[in-house]
A and B are shown apart, each in its own frame.
Chain A
């Protein structure tokens, strides 16, 4: 059997094994996950549809925006896929236990690289399709397009997925092989690449004096529009191809499809060639790299001062978790990318002239920004906070056998998560309201809501992480995508919507003059009580349930420990 065929057979067997594992799960659990996933998709679809209807209010400009939004949406997804491809390719190519197994079997380096690239693209595709489906459904619904539109989009999405995930794979292959070992030179180079990328994106924006008034307004409101709609941009090909096929322009549609497929195949070919030449050396370098590195015995020595502020065991766990986090580039790079993109956007709000918009618009943007930061918080809470107890894994015995009690272990996890997320999210919203120049009341409400979201996301994620603790699982992705992980993100998103909407709607109604001062004050007080009660419930209850679950799992009598 040729080696590549053996890999396909293995993948088939693994799929069969996964199916067996799924069949062995409780029906209720599968039903619950499916129902929540469908509900989430439906809500997302409704939100997108409402956004399209909102843009209708702007007449011709709105229509232009909707047309271009499709290309912009795919450009955004493409960027997300590239970043996702970078991260997943690093773990599949250089962090996977399967690689040493494959290296001593008769597989060529190019086969291993392509196999792992496909695997990485597969991992990245999950979130991609989860977002694509509700967006295109809402778009088709709003534009009254034929259901074929959804089918064409899915067909076009496959080469698009491989194309952009491939950019990530290529970048990581070259970086691991060629990036200098010296942290100073390496960080300098990475900084330079970042600066070049940002400069490139800014240069891609249109010069204002060459545009018509309408175009000026659209491009200044929606960054990246010109890049997305550029004829050489794959996001333009996919947007144009799908709409052409839906409207019956088959030849034009197929032309764009061929452009996407050939580009994806070319990317695959380049990955195969680059893999053949660099993967083995890159893998050797990544395996030997950390062992060869002269490392300081203690990272962030200042963390020892935590003992003066906190009980010794809690300080020890927090310091351990911080050091572990910074030692894992896959972990911190995701947080940096998510929050970095938001920070970049917030710091440039004035560049898009958002601060000159009418009050009702700025009020809406403030709460949309709170929504965006909260969505990132929910996703990071599920990605990093939820699995942290499970990731103690087989080392958990050490904590259990130490005098650190369960409440203190959970307190350490919760405190660290809250301190980190609240600092970043409150700072981001403070930047956002400052850039928009909104009033004191709206600023205070936005900051209070984001602080509450940080608290609840950490409470939910730490608590549910304890309820569904899985000490056998060493793969964070598997922990995150488990039943508990899915429930956690759904509850986080649900909570987030439940607390942001009342404030967003109230301030919007006030700004458009639909609410009198008295009613507004009373409604704001009611919304604040609602925020307080819901936050308390979303924080305290999961932590208590989590604690009870931990005691059930680890049967040391809690009586005296508490």
Chain B
């Protein structure tokens, strides 16, 4: 479903991605781990078309966003770590706005609104302005809206920062349900326990290169049974440390 083929991205002398190749099949929840500046967000931004790769290809369901942006955009849902939303719209107006952008018929938007707002505990906030929502409620709102157009691929940057245990559980269940239904998820996180808990496979990236790839069990086996934390620190240690 996601295919990265010798992906490179340079910013002047800085090589943010260095021949990154990776395939994530449909129905898989893939966790991308790496220290700050390793290239995780750059990879996601290339997949969404927000950043253009210097060389290589990034395909979603066999299509490069640079060749057919509209087709790819209809298939992906992107949730950034701090989503900036339209602050002066109400929660309901925001949901409608998002649905209309994807040309979803009004009756379906209304039906999904009821269902998703109930599921995410947003019903009582439907008349609140987005700017009045707490960080957790904003995250719930962005999850509720991003699933509205049934994206096959979800790209999620740091999904659990600043959330309460209830919301974390809600989102974890949602992500699992999405992959069970055949969807693909690529998420980045710094919380190793989350990766251990929900990832089907884990990739560790450092300085733009993929330095480890496999299931949690495979990774531990390859590194003499070391914990994910130990092998992460070993593989991503800065020079001289």
Q: In this assembly, does B229 line the interface, its C-beta being within 8 Å of a C-beta of chain A? A: no
CB distance from A522 to the nearest CB of B (A): 51
Q: In this assembly, does A294 line the interface, its C-beta being within 8 Å of a C-beta of chain B? A: yes
Q: How many A-B residue pairs have CB under 8 A?
A: 112
Report B112-131 CB contacts with A as 1/0, cut-off 8 Å. 00000000000000111100
Given A395, A400, A561, which contacts B50 in the complex, CB threshold below 8 Å?
A: A400
B90, A298: Cβ atoms closer than 8 Å:
yes
A398, B98: Cβ atoms closer than 8 Å:
yes
Contacts A393-B84, A557-B66; A320 near B127 (Cβ below 8 A): no
Report B90-126 CB contacts with A as 1/0, cut-off 8 Å. 1111001110111100100000000000000000001
B100, A307: Cβ atoms closer than 8 Å:
yes
A401, B127: Cβ atoms closer than 8 Å:
no
Indicate the member of A307, A401, A554, A557 with the most B CB atoms within 10 Å: A401
A299: chain B residues within 8 A (beta carbon): 90, 93
A399: chain B residues within 8 A (beta carbon): 101
Report B39-59 CB contacts with A as 1/0, cut-off 8 Å. 000000000111110000000
A320, B70: Cβ atoms closer than 8 Å:
no
Q: Which of B74-82, B167-175, B181-189, B231-239 contacts A (4 or more CB under 8 A)?
A: B74-82
A316, B101: Cβ atoms closer than 8 Å:
yes
A307, B101: Cβ atoms closer than 8 Å:
no
Question: In the complex, what distance in Å separates the CA atom of A8 from the CA atom of B211?
Answer: 53
Contacts A295-B90, A554-B50, A555-B51; A304 near B96 (Cβ below 8 A): yes
CB distance from A90 to the nearest CB of B (A): 16
B92, A297: Cβ atoms closer than 8 Å:
yes
Contacts A312-B101, A316-B97; A557 near B69 (Cβ below 8 A): yes
B100, A290: Cβ atoms closer than 8 Å:
no
Given B78, B101, B129, which contacts A290 in the complex, CB threshold below 8 Å?
A: B129
Question: In the complex, what distance in Å separates the CA atom of A295 from the CA atom of B126?
Answer: 9
Chain A, interface residues (CB within 8 Å), range: 35 or more
A290, B97: Cβ atoms closer than 8 Å:
no
A213: chain B residues within 8 A (beta carbon): none
Q: In this assembly, does A327 line the interface, its C-beta being within 8 Å of a C-beta of chain B? A: yes
A319, B76: Cβ atoms closer than 8 Å:
no
Indicate the member of B76, B80, B97, B132 with the most A CB atoms within 10 Å: B97
B92, A298: Cβ atoms closer than 8 Å:
yes
Q: In this assembly, does A556 line the interface, its C-beta being within 8 Å of a C-beta of chain B? A: yes
A297: chain B residues within 8 A (beta carbon): 90-93, 126-127
- The residue in chain A whose Cβ has the minimal distance to the Cβ of B80 is A397
Report A97-130 CB contacts with B as 1/0, cut-off 8 Å. 0000000000000000000000000000000000
Question: In the complex, what distance in Å separates the CA atom of A299 from the CA atom of B97?
Answer: 12
How many residues of B are counted as interface, with CB atoms below 8 angstroms from the partner's CB atoms? 38
A395, B97: Cβ atoms closer than 8 Å:
no
A304: chain B residues within 8 A (beta carbon): 96, 106
B49, A403: Cβ atoms closer than 8 Å:
no
B48: chain A residues within 8 A (beta carbon): 401
Contacts A324-B89, A556-B49; A295 near B74 (Cβ below 8 A): no
- The residue in chain B whose Cβ has the minimal distance to the Cβ of A471 is B84
CB distance from B17 to the nearest CB of A (A): 15
Q: In this assembly, does A394 line the interface, its C-beta being within 8 Å of a C-beta of chain B? A: yes
- The residue in chain A whose Cβ has the minimal distance to the Cβ of B53 is A555
Contacts A313-B100, A320-B97, A403-B101; A395 near B86 (Cβ below 8 A): yes
A295, B129: Cβ atoms closer than 8 Å:
yes
Contacts A297-B93, A328-B88; A403 near B129 (Cβ below 8 A): no
A323, B50: Cβ atoms closer than 8 Å:
no
CB distance from B94 to the nearest CB of A (A): 8
Q: SS class of chain A's interface: helix, strand, loop or mixed? A: helix
Question: In the complex, what distance in Å separates the CA atom of A324 from the CA atom of B97?
Answer: 12
Q: In this assembly, does A405 line the interface, its C-beta being within 8 Å of a C-beta of chain B? A: yes
Given B50, B86, B103, B127, which contacts A294 in the complex, CB threshold below 8 Å?
A: B127
A327, B129: Cβ atoms closer than 8 Å:
yes
B100: chain A residues within 8 A (beta carbon): 307, 312-313, 315-316, 319
Contacts A296-B127, A324-B89, A560-B68; A313 near B103 (Cβ below 8 A): yes
Given B70, B106, B128, B132, which contacts A307 in the complex, CB threshold below 8 Å?
A: B106
Contacts A297-B93, A401-B73; A557 near B67 (Cβ below 8 A): yes
Question: In the complex, what distance in Å separates the CA atom of A316 from the CA atom of B89?
Answer: 12
B86, A324: Cβ atoms closer than 8 Å:
yes
A312: chain B residues within 8 A (beta carbon): 100-101, 103
Contacts A295-B128, A398-B98, A561-B70; A403 near B103 (Cβ below 8 A): yes
CB distance from A95 to the nearest CB of B (A): 12
A307: chain B residues within 8 A (beta carbon): 100, 106
CB distance from A469 to the nearest CB of B (A): 15
Q: Considering the complex, which residues of chain A in the window 310-347 have a beta carbon less than 8 Å from any beta carbon of chain B?
A: 311-313, 315-317, 319-320, 323-324, 327-328
Q: In this assembly, does A291 line the interface, its C-beta being within 8 Å of a C-beta of chain B? A: yes
Q: In this assembly, does B195 line the interface, its C-beta being within 8 Å of a C-beta of chain A? A: no
A327, B101: Cβ atoms closer than 8 Å:
no
A401: chain B residues within 8 A (beta carbon): 48-50, 73, 76, 78
B102: chain A residues within 8 A (beta carbon): 402-403
- A–B complex contacts, Cβ < 8 Å, 19 sampled: A295-B129, A297-B90, A298-B93, A312-B100, A312-B103, A316-B96, A316-B100, A319-B97, A320-B89, A393-B84, A395-B85, A397-B80, A397-B84, A398-B85, A401-B73, A554-B50, A555-B51, A557-B65, A561-B70
| 5 extra interface residue pairs, beta carbon distance < 8 Å, beyond A298-B96, A316-B97, A556-B66 | A290-B129, A298-B92, A312-B100, A395-B86, A402-B98
The interface of chain B, by Cβ under 8 A from chain A, is 48-52, 65-70, 73-74, 76, 78, 80, 84-86, 88-93, 96-98, 100-103, 106, 126-129, 132
